[in-house]
Chain A
Amino acid sequence: MTVLQACEWLKATRLSVFIRESKWGFSLIEMVHLLALAALGGALLIGALRVFGIILNEQPLQATLRDLSRIIAFGILAMLLSGFLLFADGPLRYYGNSAFRIKLLLILAAAASAFIVYRRFQARSALSVAPMGLKVATAVSITLWLSAAVAGRVIGVL
């Protein structure tokens, strides 16, 4: 089955039809997507500032990053779920949208980078100053997340 066929299959499912024809379904899903963006983005921002040693340096890394990683994981989950439902509203529409395709690639890269950051953090969580490797990985990750978010905005205005 090609990707295009999978999109056509999804469009024909009851889920897709329900979202497409419901008065408030799509808007509600969009709002959840936005709330998750606020939580995820806020946590990423605070985490990055901690890793770069700008705030909250009084305690070792794990004092902030352990809690933040929980918010980040929950936020990513909520984004993926709501994102999939938004996609289900019109699979072919997004399939043909170049900003959407780029965003998917960026999200994959961002998620992979987040995993790398998390592993590096786990190895060093008792420290108070983040080693250079963790800082570089964090910088790359933040850039990828931000790019994915911008690509998401471009989807709507393209």
Chain B
Amino acid sequence: MTLLVQLCNWLADSWVGTQIRESDNLFSLIETVHVLGVAASAGVIMIVDLAVLRLVFARYSISQVLAPLVRITWIGFGLMAISGALLFWSEADKLYANVAFRVKMLLLIALGVNQWVFHRRLTSPALVHSKIGAGVSLGLWTGVIVLGRAIAYL
């Protein structure tokens, strides 16, 4: 894994990484986008999970609710990915060694897998499988948010 370590060091030492890390306000700005963007990404997707669980928006069919809300989350995830990448760029070496960051990335991968496994079931009669997926998604997103905060503390 020393290749990854070298890559992280190279990123952190690069001009862009250094500019962000040593900036007066740019880092705080990017971090603010990342923290507040949690509402447009994780927040909305967790409400989608509640809809799949039929706890909200019960008057709508699942397909009516899913498409527009998931579209919002794509924008939200775009914001999170860009701001997250810039934050990572500025402290890649520290984050690589950070346990909370590593587990957070694992949870995001797990969420991707979960999404792929259960998304196909959403329009089928076997809704119960999608409900399990929604429950798992709620738990994992909570973990992602919690670990994101924990990064600063480890």
Contacts and interface: CB of A to CB of B under 8 A. Distances in A.
Contact, chains A and B (beta carbon distance below 8 A): yes
Interface of A: 27, 30-31, 34-35, 37-46, 49, 54-56, 58-59, 63-64, 67-68, 70-71, 146, 149-150, 153, 157
B6 interface: no
Interface residues of B, number: 33
B36 A31 contact: no
B150 interface: yes
Contact of B68 (A30, A42, A56, A70): A56
Given A150-B32, A153-B35, A43 B149 contact: no
Interface in B97-148: 141-142, 145-146, 148
A157 B64 CA distance: 42
Contacts of A38: 38-39, 42-43, 46, 141, 145
Nearest to B73: A42
A34 B38 contact: yes
B88 to A, nearest CB: 19
B39 to A, nearest CB: 2
B150 to A, nearest CB: 7
B68 A37 contact: no
A34 B60 CA distance: 29
